[in-house]
Chain A
Amino acid sequence: QVTLKESGPVLVKPTETLTLTCTVSGFSLSNLRMGVSWIRQPPGKALEWLAHIFSTDEKSYITSLKSRLTISEDTSNSQVVLSMTNLDPMDTGTYYCARMQRVGASWFGFDYWGQGILVTVSS
């Protein structure tokens, strides 16, 4: 049974750094066919993909936030971590982690999602 679960602070002050953890089970992060993305959704707005990791050497980021984001993985603990620096109230929203599979160079959809964590940026 595949599951993903997000954890981290729910209230962060402006200019601080946010660190979110996605703990997965039912599949291995060492499997290079499996990758994990972070996706966010401001209240009442659309989904926005932030970052993805297939392995320590295969990471990708949204262009507009690339300088503020770092994604990493701890395969021994089955965790994917997202760090976002210099938070702003506009970063308020629900943050999801989700799994995507690939075959060769073909990436497929996000087939499993975490429940999401609502992060509020406010002083």
Chain B
Amino acid sequence: DIQMTQSPSSLSASVGDRVTITCRASQSIINYLNWYQQKPGKAPNLLIYTASTLQTGVPSRFGGSGSGTDFTLTISTLQPEDFAIYYCQQSYSTPLTFGGGTKVEIK
């Protein structure tokens, strides 16, 4: 099974900051890497698929990059509504697997 490791597990940032979250796969997943945002009590929301493609309706301040085993989610200018938990997930092979999550908190 492919293990997905996210770092950091949590971070504190201020509105307007640039935020970067990293996801590492235990083997190459080419670019089959997706990012989700989850707010308390809600289902996750797809932000980015295939590493860098922005899902329809997602603000352009969200960006994804990477290939192989190392991937990054960047929020260029953090907004108040961006405080949430972010998950990466590989869709290269089954069993599908998620990272452990990164909680973005207000500094």
* Interface of A toward B, CB cutoff 8 Å: 37, 39, 46-49, 52, 60-63, 96, 98, 100, 106-111, 113-116
* Closest A residue to B9 using CB positions: A46
A113→B95 contact, CB < 8 A: no
Contact across chains for B101 and A46 when beta carbons are under 8 A apart: yes
> In whole angstroms, how far apart are the Cα atoms of A109 and B54 in the complex?
11
Are A111 and B98 closer than 8 Å at their CB atoms? no
B interface, how many residues as a size bin? 20 to 34
Main secondary structure of the interface of B (DSSP, over half): loop
- In the complex the two chains form, is A108's CB within 8 Å of B98's CB? no
What's the minimum C-beta distance from B99 to chain A, rounded to whole angstroms? 7
The answer to whether A52 touches B43 (Cβ under 8 A) is no
B interface residues with partner A (beta carbon < 8 Å) = 1, 32, 34, 36, 38, 43-46, 48-50, 55, 87, 89, 91-92, 94-101
User: A3 vs B55: C-alpha distance in the bound complex, in angstroms?
Assistant: 17
Once the chains are docked, how many angstroms separate the CA of A60 from the CA of B94?
A: 7
Q: By the criterion CB–CB under 8 Å, are B97 and A49 in contact?
A: yes
Task: Please give me the residue from chain B that is nearest to A47 by CB atom.
Answer: B98
Which residues on A sit within 8 Å (CB–CB) of B101? 46-47
Bound together, the chains give a CA A17 to CA B97 distance in angstroms of 24
Q: Are A49 and B50 in contact (CB under 8 A)?
A: no
The answer to whether A107 touches B1, judged by C-beta atoms less than 8 angstroms apart, is no
Chain A residues in 8 Å Cβ range of B100:
46
Q: Which of A37, A61, A109 has the most CB of B within 10 A?
A: A109
Question: Which of B44, B50, B100 has the most CB atoms of chain A within a 10 A radius of its CB?
Answer: B44
Kindly report which residue of chain B lies nearest to residue A102, judged by CB atoms: B91
A96 and B43 contact, Cβ closer than 8 Å, known pairs A46-B100, A110-B34? yes
Give me 13 A-to-B residue pairs in the complex whose CB atoms sit less than 8 angstroms apart, sorted by A's number. A37-B96, A47-B38, A47-B44, A47-B87, A47-B101, A52-B96, A96-B43, A96-B44, A106-B50, A107-B96, A110-B89, A111-B55, A116-B43
